[in-house]
């Protein structure tokens, strides 16, 4: 099961791996909402154990340290709630459309 597969038709250009209890994850998703960005996301800690293992293995392709949040914006990986980097990546994504 793939949680995020950029090669899939209709896959979101923005995806967030998050934890439901993570304040940085919530802040990053709030910023994306404020920027008017549609995104996919998964709250890893809400998954069943086997799904969680699969999700963490998938996420480690983008962020080997498996820290949260991990955002993928137009192919760029951003680890953490780095507001300036998120804004810049979203700006580039919007400009390319």
CATH architecture of the domain with range 14-95: 3-Layer(aba) Sandwich (3.40)
Query: Which pLDDT score, from 0 to 100, does residue 97 have?
Result: 76
| pLDDT given at position 10 | 86
The answer to whether residues 70 and 17 touch, using CB atoms and an 8 Å cutoff, is yes
Q: Beta-strand (E) ranges in the chain? A: 14-18, 40-43, 70-73, 76-79
Distance CA 61, CA 3 (A): 12
Per-residue tens of pLDDT for the chain, all 97 residues: 789 998 888 889 999 999 999 999 999 999 999 999 999 999 999 999 999 999 999 999 999 999 999 999 999 999 999 999 999 999 999 998 7
- Burial pattern 62-81, b for ≥16 Cβ within 10 A else e, equals bbeeeebbbbbbeeeebbbb
pLDDT, residue 58, reads 96
- Rounded to whole angstroms, how far apart are CA atoms 67 and 47? 16
Domain boundaries, the chain: 14-95
């Amino acid at each position: 099961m793939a949680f995020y597969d950029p090669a899939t038709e209709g896959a979101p250009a923005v995806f967030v791996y998050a934890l439901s209890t993570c304040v940085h994850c919530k802040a990053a998703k709030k910023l994306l909402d404020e920027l008017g960005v549609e995104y996919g996301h998964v709250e890893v800690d809400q998954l069943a154990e086997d799904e969680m293992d699969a999700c963490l293995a998938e996420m480690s392709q983008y962020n080997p340290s498996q820290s949260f949040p991990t955002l993928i914006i137009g192919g760029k990986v951003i680890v953490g709630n780095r507001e300036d980097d998120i804004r810049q990546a979203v700006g580039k994504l919007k400009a390319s459309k």
